[in-house]
Amino acid sequence: MDASAIRQWKSEGRNRLKAELDPVVAGALDERRIVGTVVEILIDGEPAYRCAAGFADREAGRPMTRDSIFLLSSVAKPIVTVAALSLVQSGKIGLDDAVSDWLPAFRPRLPDGRGPRITIRQLLTHSAGLSYVFTEQGNGPYHRHAISSGLDDTDDDFPALIDKLSDTPLSYPPGKGWGYSMGLDVLGAVIEQVTTSKLPEAITALVTGPLAMDDTAFSVTDTARLVTHYGDGSRQPRRLAGDDAVPFFGNPVRFSPGRILNPRAFPSSGAGMAGTAGDVIRLLESLKAGHSPVLDDATARSMFDIQARTGGLASGPGWEFGFGGAVLVEPEIAGTPQSRGTLQWDGAYGHKWFVDPARGLTVVALTNTAFEGMNGRFPVDLRDAIYRGL
């Protein structure tokens, strides 16, 4: 195939994707399931679809743009995971090092009083016995200790967080179970000790700087580009207040969008960053392409390997957990057109991303609507439309 034929083939492919995806985005907006979105798709490293649609601020009539800045929530996790793996790669820390070697105050116990050894690997893979306040039923220990998930506001710094977690019983013996958790937040405190830098500066030096993710950080200076976030559960998404809650599988998840502007709150590795879709896709594409300025090929590939068995708890049946996200093991069981070996995760503010190396696909869809943009109809319709358009 000569160069002109390749260009025509690529153009036809982009047109097919556009024909499939534009109606999905328009439908979600017209039906008021989401307020706004930015979608970025790369195929074999080249732009295949880009879309900014809806409102960044509905009440102000401010349109969404491709450089809109979102509160990333758990989309921060792969960023911090890459930072930690870069430290492992350079020999500054080991995956099986005890966390207490770096954080002597971090010594949580099991309900029977035993103080087990917790490793860096277990923090990375949510198998350390930690939990989240929003996964508790009723007035559990995370509620009683007022442990911030990273989504709600707090004046706790890292030492206060570590003290509270150390006083909270573990949910299960480390390495003997799986539970979505604040492991990445503890890891952020470890990164500070390893690098002798504050976490925001360490992440800039290790990840966002080398990848030119210029709009991604634990703070926002250009607030004019920061989107307004909304919560669903009513006739149309409602603007989230300063201290708000959105129901999620029967539990309220507390959101404080203004936390990103609070310099006293600990920088949450699990939920506390803000950034653009373009920055996020640059990070994810670097993992697939195998030419990351941050990770060598073997370390990047390890993120797509099964690192923890979850029994379907990560992303449902057919998925296990790698580093930074869930790994697709059985597409038929999962009921997805994605290829075996796909890595994906999401963000509570309304985000979904996945990397399908077998198809050369990298996909980021950020919305400002929780939880429709994360686990509602929109990300499923978008995913299925992508594969129809390939």
Q: Using one digit for the tens of pLDDT, what is the confidence trace for 124-152?
A: 999 999 999 999 988 899 999 999 999 99
For 373-385, what is the mean pLDDT?
Answer: 97
The residue type found at 51 is C
* Lowest-confidence pick of 227-236, 326-335, 364-373: 227-236
**What values do phi and psi take at 240, rounded to 5?**
-75, 135
**Contact call for residues 254 and 240 (beta carbons, < 8 A):** no
The rounded mean pLDDT for the chain is 95
pLDDT at 170: 98
For 335-353, what is the mean pLDDT?
Answer: 98
pLDDT at 138: 82
Residue 38 neighbours by CB under 8 Å, 6+ apart: 51, 52, 64, 65, 66, 68, 70, 276, 277, 364, 365, 366
pLDDT bracket for residue 2 (50, 70, 90): low
Residue 359 neighbours by CB under 8 Å, 6+ apart: 43, 339, 390
**Contact call for residues 328 and 341 (beta carbons, < 8 A):** yes
Flag whether pLDDT at 180 surpasses 70: yes
SS3 state at 302: helix
For 291-310, what is the mean pLDDT?
Answer: 95
pLDDT at 250: 76
Flag whether pLDDT at 6 surpasses 60: no
β pairing state of 36-43 and 46-57? antiparallel
pLDDT bracket for residue 351 (50, 70, 90): very high
pLDDT at 347: 98
pLDDT tens for each residue of 48-104? 999 999 999 999 999 999 999 999 999 999 999 999 999 999 999 999 999 999 999
What's the predicted TM-score (pTM) here?
Answer: 0.96
Flag whether pLDDT at 173 surpasses 70: yes
Q: What percent of the chain has pLDDT over 90?
A: 91
The residues assigned a catalytic role are: 74
